[in-house]
Every structure is written in C-alpha cells, then in structure tokens.
A and B are shown apart, each in its own frame.
Chain A
Amino acid sequence: MIPEIGHFALILALCVAVVQGILPIYGAAVGNSALMAVAKPAARGQFLLVLTAFCCLGYAFAEKDFSVLYVAATSNSQLPLHYRLAAIWGAHEGSLLLWTFILTVWMFAVTLFSAHLPDATRSRILGVMGLVSVGFLLFMLTVSNPFERLIPAAPDGRDLNPLLQDPGMVIHPPMLYMGYVGFSVAFAFAIAALLGGNLDAAWARWSRPWTTVAWCFLTVGIAMGSGWAYYELGWGGWWFWDPVENASFMPWLAGTALVHSLAVTDKRGGFKVWTVLLAIMAFSLSLLGTFLVRSGVLTSVHAFATDPKRGLFILVFLAIVIGGSLALYAWRAPRVGLGGGFAMISREGMLLANNVLLIAAMGSVLLGTLYPLFLDALDLGKISVGPPYFDSVFVPLMTPAIFLMGIGPLAQWKKASLPDLAKRLRWAFGVSLVTAVVLPIVMGNWTPLLSLGLLLAIWIVTTAIVTLRERLTHVSGNSLVSRLAAVPRSYWGMLVAHCGIAIFIVGVTMVKGFETEKDVRMNVGETAVIGDYTFRFDGAQDVVGPNYTAARGTFSVSRDGRETTVLYPEKRRYTVQNQVMTEAAIDPGLLRDLYVSLGEPLDDGAWSVRLYHKPFVDWIWGGCFIMALGGVLAVSDRRYRIAWRRQEPAVPASTRTARRKVA
C-alpha cells in the first residue's frame, strides 16, 4: 500500500511539474500575472509530493518490504537501519528519486528566497526547473521506477554493496547531488534571462549566491567521496581519475569558472554571454555526470545497451536539455550584448584567462573520460586512459591558472599596469620562490614538482596577504580590528577559498613527495619500520559484526620507543553477498596519517600487510572544506541579506506592475 502511495505521489508530481513547466513560462511571455502566479504553489506542491514519495520509499526500506524490487535488490534484513535508509540512494532508481527530491528542495528554496525578484523572472525560473523535473519524473515513471513490485516477495534482500556500508557513503551522495542539482538554479536563471532578454547586473547578483551555494555543496561532496575512497578502498589513494570521479569533477570545474565569471557580470556587467554559456555548461555536465555514474554505461557500454529503453531515454533527455538550451542561447544571446570593454591586463582579463584554463582543463577531463566509451561503443577496441594522462595535462593547465589567481584580486578592473603589479607583488614572489626552493632541500627530498607545488601554495598565501593589506588601507576605521571587520564578507570568502586551494596544494604536494608505502609479510610479533614509525603486528582475532564476520589485526605503532597508537584494521566478509572487504585502520593527524590495511592471511597466523605513512594527506580534504567555507562566507555577505530581507509587498501592487511595464 505505502509503495503505491509513493508511486501515485510521483504521478501527481509529474502532472504538477507539467503545469509548472508550461503555464508560468507562457504567462511570462504574454504578461498574464494569473498564469505566472501558478509557479509558486505548483513548485511547493511538487516539493510535498516528491517528499511524500521519498518518505514512502524510506518507509519501505525501514519496514524491510522486500516485495518492492528496489528494496529487495539493495538491502537485507540484517542491514542496520541507518544503512537501510542510506540504501535509498544505493542504486540507480533511488538515486534518481533523490535527485528529483533535491531538485524540488531547491525549487522550494527559490520560492522562499525570491520575494525580491520580478514576477516574470521568478515564474520563468520555476518554470524551467519544472521542465527539468518533468524529464526526471518521466524517466522514473517509465523506465526506472523505484516502487516496482516484486511478486512474489523475496524472502530476504540481496543486501547493499558492502563498499557502500559506510558513514561517508551515507552523506556523500546527498551532498554531491545538492551540488549537481544546485546548478539547475543557475541554469534556470540563465534560461529565464535568455527568455526574458534582460541579462543585466541584477540578474548576476541574483544568481550569484545560488551558484555559490551549489558550488560549496559540490566541493564538499567531492571531498567526501575522495575521503571515502581513501579509507574505504584500502589502497590509500585519494583520487584515481576514475570516470566516476571525473563525472563529478567536470561540473565542479565548470562551476568554478561560472562563479568567477558571475563576479565579472555582477561587478562590471561584462562576460554576460559567456556567463550564460557557463551556466548551461555546468548544469549539462551535472546531468551528464548523474547519468554516466548511474546508468551503468561506465561498467560496460554493452550493459547499457542491454536496457535500450533507459539508454535511449537518457540520450534523448540530454539532447533536449543541452541542445535546446544551446539553441535558445544561439538565438537569444546576440541580443544580450557584450558588456563593457577592458584591457588584456586587467582583472577581467585575468578572470577570463582563468576561465579559459578551467574550461580547457574540463575539456581534457571530458575527453579522457568519454573517449574510451566512444571507442568501445564503436567496437574499435578497448582502451583505458589512466591517471598519467590526467596528471600530465592537468598540472600544466592549472599552474598558470593558479599563478593568475594570486595576481587577479590585486589587478584593477578595466585596465591594470603590469609594472605596477610587479612592484606590488615582488616580495610575495621572492618569498614564495625562496621558500619553495629551500624547504624541500631542508626536508631532504628536492624534486621539481615538489618545489612547483610549494611555490604555488605559498604564492597564493603571500599574495592573499598582500591583497588583504592593500584592502585594509582603503577601508576606514581606527583600530586594526575595526578595519578587518569593515572588509566585506564576500571579500573574506574569496581570500579564504583561495587559501583553501593553497592548503589543498600543500596536501597533494607533500603526499606525492614524501609518502612511503610498504607491502610486507608480517608474522605475529614481527615489526616493520616506515617513516619514523615502527609497526608491530600483534596477531589477528575473529570478530562478529551485525552482518559480517571479520578478522581484526592489532598493530602497535611506536616512534622512538614511545607508543603512538594501536591500530585495528579488519578484513570483513559480508555474509549475504559473501563478499570480502578491507577495512583500513587510520591514525589521522595534522601532519601525517598512519594507515594499515590487511592483505591476505598466510600460514602460521602471518598476514600480508599494507602500511602507509602519508604526510599532510588530511590537508587535501581540509583544503576542500576551507574552500567551501569561503563560499559560505561569500554568500553570507551583507548585500545578499539585505536583498532577501527587502520584501516586495512594501510596494503597492499597481506600481509594481507599472514598473515592470516600464522595465
């Protein structure tokens, strides 16, 4: 019964979405305010309906209703409740429901925080989001229904993939989807502006906070996925340039470019056409990413073809969204105008260069991800594009971008002078260069890449200090504290996010330069030394978990004769799928992680063991979280709060319509 309610709610949601996608947009085109007024209640109603469906599926999981095919396929009676609930997004159908649910959450948020928008704009935005929602709901209802029944019911479920039975996996997909789907707001803003034909600075100011929030979620989501891979897969790697990861990284690159391009449109009115294109690109890549990961096409192009209906729907949907919005773009963009001119050496110029580099990097990732799929689909052979490709393309493209990142905030808008910039930045450059060369030598391992990484990281920090100092001389206030407080939060946000990149780079550089790894056979009582640490293997015992049995090893770690910590890595066997999983044990630290994972049992209680010493590895994720924190700071800036608080009803309705007609 409950699953049928969920199914029915989805059908109703589809009806509402169709209404929401058509009437308000039409109303905005003909200037009918009654039709436009449909948008808000429709969006809220759709949110409630999809919420109902989502709760129904959650209920089916909680109640172990194995007569629902999806529940039977992704959970099991022994699976603890929190993982049963997380199993909602453990596979294809449920993730689409999550996607749609989050889309309606964003829609609901738009209805809440759009009081300051003109009616026509708001109805167009909600209309476009409604149309996107139509696509997803249709997809679910026709070829990928999470509420499909399994008659007769399965006695028990097939269980959630043990890899996904992890707290990180519980939070990672919703975070990532908040980011993916959040770009739909920026996309809807862009399409609304194209439809309305008025792309002004106000448009950029409205869509900026939405984009930044989505970007923050995406940043955190990617970081969590990477962290999960690090501790759950037992290989100690944090980024594999795997298609699944690339799928989330491409929207991030486009989104980062969009955040910066929006800044120019907001402040200077420039880059309009480019900004719109980036908004379309970021959302298209989010869609592509969702489908790449969830359609099974990555596992095998041919598995994708075994369910041609699903594949066809996806291709048609992508073609309509991407093709349609690009066609609209080609048709309407020339009317938008180009915005003010600027010299090549100027803040706009540097932001443009940054944008081009980010998009070039995104293109290279796209190529490396899709090319093997194309070859395979055309039966031209099987290839794989590994990390060396991405590393060798990415580093040279990002190096100039990061170098410009230091200069950009110091350059004047419109026209800056190169000698002047050089003068202001010379000590920052000197300090970075000297530290980058000397530091690795002091630490006893000089490599060009190590120096380059440190140079870029220190360059970001020192230029941020210069920027802040110059900024402080321009704001009024007597004490340093009051002047610091007078710097707008969006400015702090930028500085903090950039420093996040610096921290991230330090993490990557130090791990690449100084990590040590050892695969060893260890007998009970035997020791192995890695870094400055001595690992003693004290044997393995059997333990029993809720839905697995495990061998748990005990490792005493000491340094200079003093005990540092005791680590308990596990080798688990999940009973339902009879699948073996490595559960690494990690002692995290600010300056280093110690990482142990069990290989295989050998004779006499000995095990093959993998030991890692990873300096600064936590800085990688720390940097990402600080980037996101910067985004949060930027969004909390005063000017947005004022814009949101300014309620429109203060103006009489008649003057509002009059004003709109003038506009």
Chain B
Amino acid sequence: MKPRHKRFAFIGLGLLVLGVATVLILNAFQSNLVFFFTPTQVASGEVPQGRSFRIGGMVEDGSLVRENDGLTVRFIVTDTAKRVPVTYKGILPDLFKEGKGAVAQGKLNADGTFIASEVLAKHDENYMPPEAAEALAKAKASGAQQSKSLIVPQGRQGSL
C-alpha cells in the first residue's frame, strides 16, 4: 500500500469506529432517556404511554399505607395542585418520609396509578430533591418555593 492509501485506510477505519459509536450512542439515548414530569403534567395527560418516566413532588401527609406483606406500600405524590397515587413494592430509601420530597421512576397503569420500580432519595432530610422542589415551585403560581433552598451538603449525595 502507498502511504497515501494507508492514510485513507486509517481515516476510514477511524470514521467507521466513530460512526458505529455514534449509532450505538444515539440508539441507546433514544431508548434510555428518562423524562421527568410533575403531578400536574401527569394529570393533564402529558406523560408517555407504556414508557418509564419519573415523577416528583411531596409525599402527602398521612397517605402512606403499608400492605400486609410488609413490602408493598402505597402513597400519594403531590405538587399541591394535583395528586398521583403511587404503588411500590420493596424497601423504601432511608430518607423517604411523609411530608418530604420524593422522586419515583416507573410507569402509569390504566387506572392512573403510578407503578414505581424505583424510589429515589437523592437528598438529605431537610431538603427536597431538586426535581421535587421544582415540581412544587411550578405548581405554585406565586412561585414562593425557589431552588435557592437547595443547599445540599457536599459529598457523594448524588450516588444514592
């Protein structure tokens, strides 16, 4: 091979790898992005059907009900404007509490209950998860709740 051909071959190979990587990435992106919605958006039917998404807001006071198996829990996530019932089977994170913020990932079933596959608590107990705080802030027209209050202690809080 002449040097020029060789260079072309190298560049071609590089482009091929890049192309394959791009296809993989775009494909994976397409199917694995998880969008976030507020209870108001859920109520107005903006959420995707049959696809996993996240909701966030406050766990309504007194709404937490545990079933007899000790593992299945039901609670209501609210942004003070709308309420979404959530069912989750499993162990809740340490920071999960009534009256506190929570984010759940899962799907909406036919009767409007959110079946959570995961409940997240990426925050310490005095503060809201940012998504939940925003959901509340959006719902309040006066917008008193700002994310300014989100001074989360530094550290690995993100990896919860």
Contact = CB atoms under 8 A, between A and B. Distances in A.
Interface of A: 73-74, 90-92, 95, 161, 163-164, 169, 225, 228-229, 233-234, 240, 242-245, 293-294, 296, 298-300, 302-303, 306, 341, 343-344, 353, 356-357, 360, 363-364, 367-368, 371, 381-386, 388-389, 392-393, 396-397, 519-521, 577-582, 599-600, 602, 606, 608, 610
Contacts of A233: 159-160
Contacts of B156: 163-164, 169, 225, 228-229, 244
Interface in B108-160: 122, 124-126, 130-131, 134, 147-148, 150-160
14 contacts: A228-B156, A244-B156, A294-B154, A299-B152, A302-B130, A306-B148, A344-B6, A344-B13, A382-B134, A521-B70, A577-B126, A579-B125, A580-B94, A606-B70
Given A299-B150, A580-B95, A600-B92, A360 B134 contact: no
Contact of B158 (A298, A343, A382): A298
B144 to A, nearest CB: 15
Given A244-B156, A344-B10, 20 more contacts: A91-B155, A95-B154, A161-B124, A164-B156, A229-B156, A240-B159, A296-B154, A299-B122, A303-B130, A306-B147, A341-B6, A356-B17, A364-B24, A519-B71, A521-B69, A580-B125, A582-B94, A600-B92, A608-B70, A608-B71
Contacts of A392: 24, 27-28, 32
Interface string B89-112: 111101100000000000000000
A393 B25 contact: yes
A581 B54 CA distance: 24
B8 to A, nearest CB: 11
Nearest to A237: B159
Interface string B64-88: 0010011100000000000000000
A356 B14 contact: yes
A91 B159 contact: no
Contacts of A163: 155-157, 160
Contacts of B20: 396
A360 B13 CA distance: 13
Contacts of A300: 130, 147, 150, 152
B69 A91 contact: no
B142 to A, nearest CB: 18
A367 B29 CA distance: 10
A60 to B, nearest CB: 18
Contact of B17 (A360, A364, A386): A360
Given A360-B21, A388-B28, A302 B158 contact: no
A303 B36 contact: no
Contact of A581 (B36, B94, B134): B94
Contacts of A225: 156
A383 B21 contact: no
Contact of A577 (B13, B17, B54, B124): B124
A319 B149 CA distance: 29
A296 B28 contact: no
Interface residues of B, number: 52
Contacts of A302: 130, 147, 150
B87 to A, nearest CB: 15
Contacts of A364: 21, 24-25
Given A229-B159, A344-B6, A344-B9, A90 B32 contact: no
Contacts of A356: 14, 17
Interface string B1-36: 001001001100110011011001101110111111
A229 B159 CA distance: 8
B88 to A, nearest CB: 11
A97 B52 CA distance: 42
B55 to A, nearest CB: 11
A376 to B, nearest CB: 9
Nearest to B120: A384
A520 B9 CA distance: 58
B112 to A, nearest CB: 22
Nearest to B36: A382
Contacts of A294: 154
A95 B95 CA distance: 26
Given A90-B155, A299-B157, A385-B32, A397 B24 contact: yes
Contacts of B66: 602
A644 to B, nearest CB: 37
Contacts of A371: 29
Contacts of A240: 159
Nearest to A382: B36
A244 B122 CA distance: 12
Nearest to B66: A602
A331 B147 CA distance: 44
Given A392-B32, A577-B125, A299 B95 contact: no
Nearest to B70: A521
B25 A90 contact: no
Contacts of A91: 153-155
B40 to A, nearest CB: 14
Given A92-B154, A161-B157, A397-B24, A383 B33 contact: yes
B130 A520 contact: no
Nearest to A521: B70
